Amino acid sequence: MAQLSNDCFAFGGELMTLDEARALIAERLAPATAVEDVPLVEADGRVLAIDIAAPVDLPPFDNSAVDGYAVRHHDLAQDGETSLPVVARVPAGAPHAGAPAKGTAVRIFTGAPMPDGLDTVFMQEDVRVAGKTVILPPGLKRGANRRLAGEDLRRGAPALAAGRRLAPPDIALIAALGLANVPVRKPLRVAVFSTGDEVVSPGEALRPAAVYDANRFMLQAMLRRLACRATDLGILADEPRALAGALAQAAAGHDLILTSGGVSTGEEDHVKAAVEAAGALAFWRIGIKPGRPVAMGVIAGTPFLGLPGNPVAAYVTFATVARAVIARLSGESHASPRAFPVAAGFAYRKKEGRREYVRVRLAADADGRLVAHKHPREGAGVITSLTETEGLVELAEGVTRIEPGEVLRFLPYDLLR
């Protein structure tokens, strides 16, 4: 578990930009988790702990890419069909013994090793067969439909770098290299709770003036998609002493404490005071919308991150701030997701000096261009503005006005995990 000093997130400015917040996270945080070997089937979504070099050539031998007939290209006529006797049959998994005589062909199947001396494969649908003779059309290039040993990876070549969050294609590559187990970072242990006397857990009776707690469940779902072990600590009442005690207890067994609600500057927002009582707080007012009130601190050496209480603001700040924290603590080499260009289907004005994320859905226009249409309701508490859209358009700090047709940066929700 990372042990941080109380002033590790110290920042002199009153309003932090998102880029400054991410730079501070990258500079001050280090991986908090140890390494463990896991079976390959359990490695999806985990963070690779070491560089992997190919222990073998991939593929390990020259082989056929198709079902067909293997020949020497030198035996083919240049200006017409070629008839060759078929002298052998090589299925996948059964290596051919010896080199066929010149002027002969071999029946071969996908994945089967190329017989010695043969360098070209005709697809079976491109040839004619007459008894034990195959008739080959002209024009095929030397080496066609042949996969060379090591053409994917040479033995000793870099395969995957440490810090990569493994995905199914990575699992396929590791398996193809013959590795049954893989060293990965242990899952990050994250304590999650909500604050506020006005929220109750789903399934309980809804009191007057109360709402169901959506954030705690959304945040745990997002954490689990990142292979974190989330501990649900429920809802903490708005009482500073109780909050401070719960924070201190959570710090003892977790790598990160993640809360939502109570981090603004209102009289009933007690998380700020509780963190200061249990540890130290570098209170970030990040220049983003939705989600300006984000708190970062340290409690008994464990990082603390407090997100806003409105669900959309909690989602956006998780994707833009908490995601960077989790990556650093997990030892992940994480970069901001690549945005895709789309055309604006709306006019919009914003304040200068803050980065804004607008919820949009996409539709193709008559020319096939993807056009972003803003959700009609902008409130940070409107959860359906997330479920009825496909992603966010990111408006930079210097932008103050958007006109229809302008090119915007679109971030699909699927890339924000």
Examine residue 10 and state whether it is found in any structural domain, yes or no: no
User: Is 246 contained in some domain?
Assistant: yes
Same domain, 324 and 349: no
Q: Are strands 211-212 and 199-200 parallel, antiparallel or unpaired?
A: parallel
- Residue 191 and residue 323 in one domain: yes
Residue 46 lies in a domain: yes
Residues 178 and 197 in one domain: no
For 156, the domain range is: 39-58+152-185
For 279-293, what is each residue's pLDDT tens digit? 787 767 789 999 878
pTM score of the predicted model:
0.88
Whether the Cβ atoms of residue 125 and residue 41 lie closer than 8 Å to each other: no
Q: How far apart are the first and last CA of the chain?
A: 23
Tally of structural domains, the chain:
4
What count of other Cβ atoms lies within 10 Å of the Cβ of residue 234? 11
Is there a single domain that holds both residue 304 and residue 203? yes
Domain boundary among 330, 349, 371: 330
Comparing C-alpha atoms, which of 417, 329, 333 is closest to residue 50? 333
Q: Which of 267, 302, 330 is the last residue of a domain?
A: 330
Residue 113 tokens read as 């090793």
The tens place of each residue's pLDDT in the chain, 417 residues long, gives 556 665 555 555 568 899 998 998 998 899 988 999 999 999 999 999 999 999 999 999 999 999 999 999 999 998 999 999 999 999 999 887 679 999 999 999 999 999 999 999 999 999 999 999 999 999 999 999 999 999 999 999 999 999 999 999 999 999 999 999 999 999 999 999 998 778 899 999 999 988 999 999 999 999 999 999 999 999 987 778 888 888 899 999 999 999 988 665 554 457 777 888 887 877 677 899 998 788 888 998 999 999 998 999 999 999 999 999 999 999 999 888 889 999 999 999 999 999 999 999 999 999 999 999 999 998 999 999 999 999 999 999 999 999 999 999 999 998 887
Q: Minimal CA–CA distance to 399: which of 388, 389, 407?
A: 407
- Tokens 């304590």, residue? 191
Each residue's pLDDT tens digit, 104-146: 999 999 999 999 999 999 999 999 999 999 999 999 999 999 9
320 and 395, same structural domain?
A: no
Residue 170 lies in a domain: yes
C-alpha 256/C-alpha 275 separation (Å) is 13
- Say how many residues make up the chain: 417
Q: Is residue 13 part of a domain?
A: no
| Domain-located, residue 6 | no
Which CATH number goes with the domain that contains 353? 2.40.340.10
Within a domain: 350 = yes
Same domain? For 316 and 245 the reply is yes
Give the tokens for residue 284: 């970030």
The answer to whether residues 243 and 362 belong to one domain is no
pLDDT tens for 161-190 read 999 999 999 999 999 999 999 999 999 999
Q: In whole angstroms, give the CA distance from residue 114 to residue 143.
A: 11
CA separation for the pair 173, 152 (Å, rounded): 10
- Does a structural domain hold residue 376? yes
